[in-house]
Structure 1
């Protein structure tokens, strides 16, 4: 099932997922899994703007391109959460279609339970990270082009190529569908059972799908280790972001002012089901405070926290970098 709208022809149309931020219960365990098992590069180690004694870890391709960035707040020893209605319930990456069996073996050999399935005609591997975050690797015939990290433990022909999609769990689709299609300019591409797939931007770009999974009986989720905190969508620059802010407010959404996150500018609002949405700018990117070849090697702090560096470094748990 497809619906048409004219929003995608506008210059500030969303081009896909910018990043997804989730919660973990150990920085060291989180780093080991995403770097060693999945082969993502740690492109930034910084701290939570609202909690400077907690890391904010960013993983992605070699340069941390928008559409490849999965980030974490690792609150040490935090109890596990529960994915439920009103949350992003699964994060999906893109892999080459011929790599599905290879990844199934790799995940299984890592001691993690994995399952192979089909969705919208594409094969996928589903599993959870060490803290319970549901992950999927979806095989496609032509993965998007991303900046390869040459030191990744994953052979080049099997590497993750950014996001494929995210799945949000909702009790009913109507209000969310209106926001996604009529306000945010996404196109309802197809439906399979209780799943609605929306598309943004260029189909060759990473992270251009957003799925709604509908379950009228699903209970509300609970934030904790292994759950998604928020999802961010891409806009090209601050001018486009300003237009988004105005458009959302005109349609009755409470939108924050612009937040300077150093590596991008952000605005936030909640979708009708309670999911925290962000619209983030592509620039300036992660090389504003360290060279691309050294991304993620040292702790970078927001300027306001630099006077606290000694105390912050003392209280943060150590990271073992490969």
Structure 2
């Protein structure tokens, strides 16, 4: 068994109506699925990605209206990276963020790559990361109807950063249980803190890295809007997922067991520092219940929720995603 990289990252938003234009009109991602939280179908679950919603490109949001702001801290997924094709693309995004009033830092090196830090409208922390010299897991394919030119477009998920108070137990989970390998480290920008460690899996590269940060100066995160709920890792297929379930049971981690999310199959477990991991299969994919050219335009429900459609639609605040191409 060999995890292939990052599958998706799921975060929290309080405002789907503002989330949707930020991630499509400003960041240029495609809304590939407008659905609901399967564990709480009274709220939206929005999926963004490349043109087909390929695994490794999916950024998702649970909407919890009136949710308090995220308080950053340890036991958290503290930053998500988004891949862009080149160093030149970062210069494009620097100007674009200025034009749209997006809070951002400056282009700087991080883990051997040029990056650009920014925050979304709910202060979620991101890095754009250049794929200029990346030779690992392939990126996704930009949507040709995006407002962002293809040569500068976001092509998928890059490294995900975990922040914990003590790294030992998380290192054991990453290496001994999940099969990640320590690649290198890079300096923290926070004074008197340890270097940030870089772990990789599968073919390696930007789409297969987890960065592990130790912080002794922070309280535990209080998850809220602008925070990340979990990170999912890629299993090739359902048979392999069942092997992971057996392995995680043997390691005596409490877990969800097999969960059918319709668009992929999953397992969830929480490691000792409180990070929630998901292992998800690459398929069946997001075109299972919608035509590829119309992904995300209508409310999609998995079969077990379809009989409750009228009730669900009566609760959800309407979100118009059936707009003409950019």
- Whether 1:107 aligns to 2:106 is no
Superposed CA RMSD in Å reads: 1.3
8 A Cα contact 2:142 2:154, kept in partner: no
Give me the whole-angstrom Cα distance separating, in 2, the residues matched to 1:52 and 1:251.
Answer: 32
Give me the whole-angstrom Cα distance separating, in 2, the residues matched to 1:217 and 1:248.
Answer: 31
State the shift of 1:261 in Å.
Answer: 0.3
Residue of structure 2 equivalent to 1:293:
293
Give me the whole-angstrom Cα distance separating, in 1, the residues matched to 2:284 and 2:99.
Answer: 39
Which of 149, 157, 166 is matched with 1:163 structurally? 157
Residue of structure 2 equivalent to 1:216:
216
- SS, match of residue 148 in structure 1: coil
State the shift of 1:160 in Å.
Answer: 0.7
- Whether 1:257 aligns to 2:257 is yes
- SS, match of residue 207 in structure 2: coil
- Whether 1:178 aligns to 2:200 is no
Which of 114, 118, 126 is matched with 1:123 structurally? 114
Residue of structure 2 equivalent to 1:227:
227
- Whether 1:241 aligns to 2:235 is no
State the shift of 1:115 in Å.
Answer: 0.4
Residue of structure 2 equivalent to 1:7:
none
- SS, match of residue 24 in structure 2: helix
Give me the whole-angstrom Cα distance separating, in 2, the residues matched to 1:250 and 1:314.
Answer: 44
Unaligned runs of 5+ in 1: 1-11
8 A Cα contact 2:52 2:286, kept in partner: yes
Q: TM-score, normalised by structure 1?
A: 0.93
- SS, match of residue 242 in structure 1: helix
Residue of structure 2 equivalent to 1:3:
none
8 A Cα contact 1:170 1:218, kept in partner: no
- SS, match of residue 165 in structure 1: strand
Q: How does 1:145-156 map to 2 (within 5 A)?
A: 145-156=139-150
- SS, match of residue 172 in structure 1: coil
- Whether 1:27 aligns to 2:22 is no
- SS, match of residue 303 in structure 1: coil
Give me the whole-angstrom Cα distance separating, in 1, the residues matched to 2:142 and 2:186.
Answer: 33
Q: TM-score, normalised by structure 2?
A: 0.92
Which of 76, 96, 104 is matched with 2:65 structurally? 76
8 A Cα contact 1:54 1:73, kept in partner: yes
Deviation string 1:125-179 (CA, Å, 9 cap, x unpaired) is: 1111111211110112146342221100000110111011110101111111111
Residue of structure 1 equivalent to 2:130:
139
- Whether 1:198 aligns to 2:199 is yes
State the shift of 1:252 in Å.
Answer: 2.5
Give me the whole-angstrom Cα distance separating, in 2, the residues matched to 1:75 and 1:217.
Answer: 29
Give me the whole-angstrom Cα distance separating, in 2, the residues matched to 1:261 and 1:140.
Answer: 31
Deviation string 1:267-317 (CA, Å, 9 cap, x unpaired) is: 110012101110001110111101111111110112222222122112211
- SS, match of residue 229 in structure 2: strand
8 A Cα contact 1:122 1:139, kept in partner: yes
8 A Cα contact 1:18 1:68, kept in partner: yes
State the shift of 1:234 in Å.
Answer: 0.5
State the shift of 1:226 in Å.
Answer: 0.3
Bigger CA drift: 15-24 or 78-87?
Answer: 78-87
Residue of structure 1 equivalent to 2:192:
none
Bigger CA drift: 285-294 or 301-310?
Answer: 301-310
8 A Cα contact 1:27 1:317, kept in partner: no
Give me the whole-angstrom Cα distance separating, in 2, the residues matched to 1:300 and 1:83.
Answer: 32
- Whether 1:278 aligns to 2:278 is yes
Give me the whole-angstrom Cα distance separating, in 2, the residues matched to 1:292 and 1:273.
Answer: 39
